[in-house]
Structure 1
Amino acid sequence: MNFLNEVAARFPDAVSLAAGRPYDGFYVADDVERYLRVYRDHLAGTGLSASAIDRTLLQYGRTNGVIGDLIARTLAVDEGIEVPAEAVMVTAGCQEAMIVALRGLCAGPDDVVLAVEPCYVGFTGAARILGIEVVPVPEAADGLDPEAVLRVAREVRASGRRARALYVVPNFANPSGVSMAVAARRRLLEVASEAGLLILEDDPYGLFGLDDEARPTLKALDGAAGGRSVIYLGSFAKSVFPGARVGFLVADQVVVDGAGRRTLLAEELSTVKSMVTVNTSPIAQGVVGGVLVDAEYSLRAANRAKVEFYRRNMRALLAALEHEFGDDEPMTWNTPSGGFFAVLNVPFVADEALVEVSARDYGVLWTPMCFFYGDGGGEGAIRLSCSALEPPRIEEGVRRLGKLVRDLVS
């Protein structure tokens, strides 16, 4: 991430098909004050006094957060996920949710986590910082194969290690853009139960499909079946404000201690969070809470303009790839059904050195897919992002990329 930012800073005129951030045009600073007032009015409506509202927003707060009830209500409306407010931990971005979950689940030297590969670098980086081994499960063209998960879990167990969890992004994954079919999701839940795995389901892009097809979360499917195999990781970076840095995890698994005391896993994980960030900024939570109240607890409804924008951008990217490379037999790319990313396969090594050449001499930035592999892989592929640009800039970026590719191939 730092490398790409540094290259982008040195070549500011380069079109960035690397940046996976949301589009700047959706955000104005005046909205922060507006939504904070909505949240304050909401608190007043619950009977809190003015001084109590001030304490809620301006003092140290509850470790697991103050808007868990609003998040739980939104998940029920938008995703069919039914959990109590106590099962929700509000975190400083989804990145902290990953760190808290990893540290809470992996306590011994033989504890490992499985992760789909290619994998979002934020997760593998968090595991590396904590000294937790990540065992890759290769992703197929149509998403994660549950049978591959079962095979890898058995191999881990046979080696004397203990696989505690599996990290997966079922909807429009970063970096591949691939989604899991519903049948595969159901089978993955069966595999998790058989292998004794918790699933860490990360869902930052689930709102942004190219159509309105229902794509049930693993958490909703698991809950409907009476299971508790999924810890759901969420973020408001794409659906509200990236700068708020508010995420969450949902862990409604029951924990029983030696004395028979029963609590929820989210409450137990608060011990980890209290040592990391003490608590998530109540002011930032208040802004997000105001958005949820104002949206009547449906981010799907509130984000229609963003959904249409990102749909248009993905279609523009795929159309530009077809126009630029459609007659080039060596060139292939996938066609995601939503999200921010697509992958272009190229007949040469795409690495950091080539990124710099591309930015300097051709005016286009992209992300090497090799960044998303732990021990080799992805050298002949690049990730293209379409989220941060208008369609004409996407088309121009692909045109510049086409010139780079043709020069290298020839």
Structure 2
Amino acid sequence: MSGKNVATSSSIRKSELHSSLSDPVLDTMNFLNEITLRYPGAISFAPGRPYDGFFETEQVLAHLRRYLDHLTDHGASPAQVRTAVYQYGPTAGQIREIIADSLRRDEGIDVPPESIVVTVGAQEAMMLVVRALIRDPDDVLLVSSPCYVGITGVARLLDVTLGAVAETTDGFSLANLEAAIRAERAAGRRPRAFYLVPDHANPSGSTLPGPVRAQLLELAAREHLLILEDTPYRLVSPGEPVPTLKALDRHRSVVHLGSYSKTLFPGARVGFAVADQPVTGDDGRVGLLADELSKIKSMVTVNTSSLSQAVVAGALLAVDGRLSELNAKAAVHYGDAMRRVLDRLAERLPESRRAELGVRWHEPSGGFFLGLTVGFEADDAALTRAAEEFGVIWTPMRYFHPDDGGRRALRLSVSYLSPEEIDEGITRLVAFIESETSHRDLEP
């Protein structure tokens, strides 16, 4: 039996559940999925998913076979090969050496395999790192604002205090981070770590220039602040990437979070954390932060799917660890998609018309997302009108602001649509923006 107002002897009041379950952040993805299903004819700029056209079913089998052959070539017996794909496997991961080799070749990140923990996507990596680092109620996790909702959700689930570091129109602001650190300490709290996506950020699309990265690392070392660097979009973007913060890290100030969801395929659900920070126990023994993350993981997911790790390892072995080469075609595709969205926006909304409507946007050099400022409240009700009346879906930027900002902005994802869908989608979006702005102007 079901019903909104039906109560039984076994019913649970929502107020008795963890408070995070009443947080709008945790409803974000469900709402977007629901509205997409409700309006199947709408063109959706909401999902940050890779383009389906790059996936071939048989590749999965080839990747798996390659990894099994790799094990055999390195002396594994048939029983050991069988165990490697059928059993639980090491909590920290069974392909850490292959990931470490790939990071050296592709990103210039030179760390020992034991500093890596293989996770169920980058989302679990965030959960493990935040749980390990935040000890007391006065510990604070600083986040760039706007920021990826996954880190916000982790903080809510773990009852972790968030401190928002507002981006400027140019993206990350070192001055704003310094001010946030001072403000938290003045209030008696300890800024423990700062999370950001330095390359083609979700949702704003901004990228940290090289000189700013060096300044951020200097600040982190000086203030004893750990940087949580999330990097899903670097190798699927055109052009030569700026070095990662971890590659530039000389003081072990950076915990590097990685994922193969965009560079290989999301269904694998394989990510990793590079946590080479030394941890000294009460007995004087020194280990790595990765060891502590592995302890937490053993009580959360036990281990990452051995089968998924095998497929990822096979894909890495196929290109000698160089994901940049494997994703060369994808990077061109996503770069073309971003350029097409920006060109269509400029055509449909010339500069004079933008000024009239109060519209402006970022021009990212890569990644999947860009932010668009509009002249009206871009809330769930506006999104529903866009889907229902104009056949276009986007994401309210307010979802990504832990500081309650972004009320007149929206996020567009460029990754999942064909060129024809982009053209038609931008036409519909501009018609919606013009209609919504005119209705606002007519209000008393």
Tell whether the structures are fold-level matches, with TM greater than 0.5: yes
State the partner residue of 2:97: 69
Give the Å deviation of 1:172.
0.3
Residue 134 of structure 1: CA displacement?
Answer: 0.9
Q: CA deviation at 1:236?
A: 0.1
Contact 2:236 2:263 (C-alpha < 8 Å) held by counterparts: no
Identify the residue that residue 46 of structure 2 maps to in structure 1: 18
Cα deviation, 1:104-133, whole Å, max 9, x if unaligned, reads 001112111000000100010011001101
Return the letter of the residue paired with 2:413. Answer: S
Q: Does 1:405 align with 2:433?
A: yes
Identity %: 48
Select the residue among 139, 144, 165 that pairs with 1:116: 144
The whole-number CA distance in structure 2 between the counterparts of 1:127 and 1:28 is 36
* 1:169-318 aligned within 5 A: 169-210=197-238, 212-222=239-249, 226-318=250-342
Write the distance in 2 (CA, Å) between the matches of 1:108 and 1:53.
Answer: 44
Q: Could you say what secondary structure the match of 1:180 adopts?
A: coil
Deviations 1:191-226 (A, max 9, x none): 11121110000000111334x23311000011xxx3
**Aligned mates of 2:141, 2:302 — CA distance in 1:** 25
Q: Equivalences for 1:117-196 in 2 at 5 Å?
A: 117-196=145-224
Q: Residue 335 of structure 2 contacts residue 366 of structure 2 at CA under 8 Å; is this kept in 1?
A: yes
Contact 2:142/2:193 (8 A) holds in 1: yes
Letter in 1 for 2:218: E
1:337 aligns with 2:335: no
- Distance in structure 1 (CA, Å) of the matches to 2:177 and 2:403: 18
Gapped runs of 5+ residues in structure 1? Answer: none
Distance of 1:239 and 1:309 partners within structure 2: 13
* Residue of 55, 59, 62 corresponding to 1:34: 62
In structure 1, C-alpha distance between the alignment counterparts of 2:322 and 2:252, rounded to whole Å: 24
Distance 1:117 1:312 in 2: 27
Equivalences for 1:320-399 in 2 at 5 Å?
Answer: 320-326=344-350, 327-328=352-353, 329=355, 330-399=358-427
State the secondary structure of the residue aligned to 1:285.
helix
User: How well do the aligned residues superpose, as a CA RMSD in angstroms?
Assistant: 1.0
TM-score for the superposition, normalised by structure 1: 0.97
How far apart are residue 70 of structure 1 and its match?
A: 0.6
SS at 1:283 equivalent = helix
Question: The residue matched to 2:247 in structure 1 has which SS?
Answer: helix
Deviation at 1:305, TM superposition (A): 1.1
Q: Say if 1:18 and 1:365, in contact at 8 Å, map to a contact too.
A: yes
Contact residue 142 and residue 180 of structure 1 kept, 8 A? no
Aligned mates of 1:367, 1:164 — CA distance in 2: 30
Report the TM-score, using the length of structure 2 for normalisation.
0.90
Q: Which residue of 2 aligns with 1:96?
A: 124
Unaligned runs of 5+ in 2: 1-28, 439-444
Determine the C-alpha separation between the residues in 2 that align with 1:249 and 1:315: 32
Determine helix, strand or coil for the equivalent of 2:178: helix
1:44 aligned to 2:72?
A: yes
Q: CA deviation at 1:89?
A: 0.4
- Shift of residue 306 of structure 1? 0.6
Question: Structure 1 stretches (4+) deviating beyond 3 angstroms?
Answer: none
CA distance in 2, matches of 1:22, 1:209: 12
CA-to-partner distance for each residue in 1:159-217, whole Å, 9 max, x for gaps? 1111110001000000000011111110000111121110000000111334x233110
Task: Return the alpha-carbon distance in structure 2 between the equivalents of residues 358 and 170 of structure 1.
Answer: 31
Deviation readout 1:347-383 (Å, 9 max, x if unpaired)? 1111001111111110000001011112421111110
Maintained 8 Å contact 1:149/1:191:
no
* CA-CA distance at 1:302 after TM superposition: 0.8
Conserved? CA contact 1:171–1:180, under 8 Å: yes
Which residue number in structure 1 is paired with residue 30 of structure 2?
Answer: 2
Could you tell me which amino acid in structure 2 is paired with residue 70 of structure 1?
Answer: I
Q: CA deviation at 1:142?
A: 2.0
Distance 2:241 2:52 in 1: 28
SS class of match (1:201): strand
Q: Per-residue displacement from partner, 1:300-330 (whole Å, max 9, x unpaired)? A: 0111111111011011111011011124123
* CA–CA separation in structure 1 for the residues paired with 2:197 and 2:233: 9
Letter aligned with residue 299 of structure 2: M
Secondary structure (helix, strand or coil) at the match of 1:276 reads: coil
Structure 2: distance between partners of 1:375 and 1:6: 26
Secondary structure in 2 matching 1:144: coil
For 2:376 and 2:265, the matched residues in 1 are separated by 38
Q: Write the distance in 2 (CA, Å) between the matches of 1:259 and 1:183.
A: 40
Q: Is the 8 Å Cα contact of residues 141 and 178 (structure 1) preserved in structure 2?
A: no
